[in-house]
């Protein structure tokens, strides 16, 4: 009965034959039994489906049937993808239940659409034939309103749509709906630069700021390595640019002469594509660019809005006279002018005590029923000191006192690196579901082995405990590859190599250079890489490929005496290991005393719960602990 009633209401609401949809089960297949029951109610304002008893979903405009006629095509209907949930913006065609040419009877399931909430199937309320499928199965991110199929009333009309494709011009918005750009600011016609580059300038090359990292949107010109008039050879360092990752040297690709520097040293937030300098082929062409200015710069200056006019300060003489006919808002009562008395609820005893003590009951807050003032309220009342109203002339003096004293703080400009660190850490904490696992590791055998190896290694190579940690982490990632994965929004990418990012503190901020292929490198090779990368990071000479990427991150604060801490995941990685310091602890032992002294180290693994489940993270820590407590196993 509900199905018949739903179809009648759907026809009446739409005014034309329309389809309806019903929520599918968890697998999204078949016609499961109705779920839920409740009174008839309309969805939110977004025009979504109507909820009927029995779990039936009736969208007001879905499937959206668009009758269409063309001189070369028979009568047909275009079915568009609607919004099936309040937050839906796109959908995925999970499966077509009918094929092209199949007859669709009333009540037949046509297709299943995966939304952001569930997989929903829709049925046909009328008999028709499926003439053309425009969106194949498995197509993801189909926008709302996109035409997904064509239906016809007669089977002989199906062949006419065999090679049918949507007209791109029909789906595009009409050009009349887009206002012309000139209409937005008719009072600001484009003005040509007084010294715009043109035919009067010799042949030259305008060097623009490139993207030196994938996330770079602007940069800072730290220092020019060449001066105007100097000769440039291929590979020469032209300037140092501070990006969102590090300070990178900008090299010259061709020979020439530096004719003009357009962006001075120290200029911050230079957008990508902005002109940095001018290079010419001949030294004699340099004087022609002495007053050169790029068109983009002069246009930006010309279009800058004028400064706002200074605010008008009203004086008492210029104030308008009061309007007696219009009642003004009640003013704050002063100490000498008591407010208008109202009826006060108070017990007789409270009134008597208040009269003896000279207490104004209007100032007492009652705690009895309906705010009634009791004896206890009067006895515990403490009159407040009412300060006299300040004069008008005293307001600026009070504001001056409230201002912060000069010299009590220093405003430090935010570098591009620090700005990006803040953005990425905030994004990581807000979007990644972190959880943390901690474990204690006996480092006794590692310390003994490290001492022996350092006596055997020749040269300046000295193995550190961090080198053993990097090696053990890489081998544990091979044992538990789920921890060596990345969240890529649509897929989880499981990496086959282990590139360990090592957090290094620099004067400009935190950066994570990468030890590539740490799983196949020896301890001496890892030690050399870490020393070299850390030195380059502190000098700001890391190349982009040396710090972009990585599959697993280690942050070690043990050298500062930190026992344990929790690190923030570096997206798109799934894990980061926080390493604390080693300390002497008493541990149970099989000896006469029953205990022993061991060097114990605490580590905490931060995991992305979208990628690494709790049991998987615990398994990784168990493998990591086994490698460090039995370092000989790292040789197997």
609 annotated active-site: yes
| E strand spans, 243-289 | 247-251, 256-261, 270-271, 275-280
- Which residues does 442 contact at the CB level (< 8 Å), separation at least 6? 587, 598, 599, 600, 629
Going across the sheet that includes 231-232, the strands are 204-208, 275-280, 256-261, 231-232
User: Residue 515 — φ and ψ, nearest 5°?
Assistant: -95, 100
467: enclosing H helix or E strand: helix 465-479
CA-wise closest residue to 571 among 608, 534, 612 = 608
**Contact 554/501 with Cβ under 8 angstroms?**
yes
Q: What is the DSSP string of 38-53?
A: ---EE--TTT-PEEET
- Which residues does 566 contact at the CB level (< 8 Å), separation at least 6? 434, 436, 578, 604, 606
The torsion of the CA quartet 347, 353, 355, 356, rounded to 10 degrees, works out to 170
Q: Which of 116, 269, 360, 609 is catalytic?
A: 609
Name beta bridge partners: 557.
none
**Contact 118/124 with Cβ under 8 angstroms?**
no
CA distance 557 to 99: 62
Name beta bridge partners: 92.
114
CA distance 176 to 180: 9
- Residue 50 sits at the vertex; the CA angle it makes with 45 and 54, to the nearest 5 degrees, is 150
Q: Which residues participate in catalysis according to the annotation?
A: 609, 613
């Amino acid at each position: 009965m509900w199905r018949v009633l739903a179809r009648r209401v759907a026809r009446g609401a739409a005014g034309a034959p329309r389809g309806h949809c019903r929520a599918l089960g968890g697998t999204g297949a078949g016609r499961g039994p109705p779920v839920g029951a409740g009174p008839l109610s309309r969805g939110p304002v977004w025009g979504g489906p109507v909820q009927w008893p029995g779990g039936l979903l009736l969208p007001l405009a879905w499937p959206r049937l668009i009758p269409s006629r063309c001189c070369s095509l028979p009568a047909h209907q275009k079915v568009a993808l609607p919004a099936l949930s309040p937050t839906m913006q796109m959908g995925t065609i999970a499966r077509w239940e009918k094929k092209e040419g199949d007859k669709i009877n009333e009540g037949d399931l046509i297709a299943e659409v995966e939304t952001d909430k569930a997989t929903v199937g829709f049925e046909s309320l009328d008999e028709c034939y499926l003439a053309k499928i425009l969106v194949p199965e498995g197509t993801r991110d189909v926008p709302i309103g996109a035409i997904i199929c064509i239906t016809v009333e007669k089977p002989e009309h199906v062949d006419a749509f065999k090679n049918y494709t949507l007209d791109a011009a029909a789906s595009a918005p009409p050009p009349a709906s887009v206002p012309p750009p000139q209409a937005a600011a008719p009072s600001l016609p484009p003005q040509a630069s007084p010294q715009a580059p043109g035919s009067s300038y010799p042949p030259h090359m305008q060097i623009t700021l490139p993207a030196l990292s994938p996330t770079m949107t602007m940069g800072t010109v730290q220092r020019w390595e060449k001066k105007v008039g100097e000769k440039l050879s291929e590979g020469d360092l032209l300037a140092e640019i501070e990006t969102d990752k590090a300070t990178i040297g900008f090299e010259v690709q061709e020979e020439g002469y530096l004719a003009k520097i357009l962006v001075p040293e120290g200029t911050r937030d230079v957008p990508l594509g902005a002109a940095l300098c001018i290079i010419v082929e001949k030294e004699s062409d340099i004087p022609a660019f002495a007053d050169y200015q790029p068109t983009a710069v002069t246009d930006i200056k010309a279009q800058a809005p004028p400064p706002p006019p200074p605010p008008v300060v009203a004086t008492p003489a210029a104030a308008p006279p009061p309007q007696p006919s219009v009642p003004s808002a009640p003013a704050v009562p002063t100490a000498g002018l008591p407010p208008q008395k109202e009826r006060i609820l108070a017990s007789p005893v409270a009134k008597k005590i208040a009269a003896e003590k000279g207490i104004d009951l209007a100032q007492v807050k009652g705690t009895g029923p309906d705010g009634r003032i009791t004896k206890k309220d009067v006895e515990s009342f403490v009159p407040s000191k009412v300060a006299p109203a300040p004069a008008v002339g005293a307001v600026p003096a009070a504001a001056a006192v409230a201002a912060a004293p000069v010299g009590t703080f220093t405003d430090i400009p935010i570098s591009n690196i620090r700005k990006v660190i803040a953005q990425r850490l905030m994004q990581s904490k807000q979007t990644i579901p972190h959880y943390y696992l901690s474990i204690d590791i006996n480092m006794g055998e590692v310390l003994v082995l490290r001492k022996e190896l350092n006596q055997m290694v020749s040269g300046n190579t000295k193995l550190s405990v961090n080198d053993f940690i990097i090696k053990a982490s890489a081998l544990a990632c091979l044992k538990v590859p789920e921890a060596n994965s990345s969240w890529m929004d649509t897929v989880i990418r499981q990496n086959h190599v282990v590139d360990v990012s090592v957090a290094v503190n620099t004067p400009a901020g935190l950066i994570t250079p990468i030890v590539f292929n740490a799983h196949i490198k020896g301890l001496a090779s890892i030690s050399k890489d870490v020393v070299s990368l850390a030195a380059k990071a502190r000098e700001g000479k890391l190349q982009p490929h040396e710090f972009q990427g990585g599959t697993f991150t280690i942050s070690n604060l043990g050298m500062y005496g930190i026992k344990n801490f929790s690190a923030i995941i570096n997206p798109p990685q799934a894990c980061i290991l926080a390493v604390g310091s080693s300390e002497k602890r008493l541990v149970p032992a099989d000896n006469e005393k029953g205990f022993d002294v061991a060097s114990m180290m605490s580590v905490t693994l931060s995991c992305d719960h979208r990628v690494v489940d709790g049991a998987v993270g615990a398994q990784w820590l168990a493998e990591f602990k086994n490698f460090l407590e039995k370092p000989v196993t790292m040789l197997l």
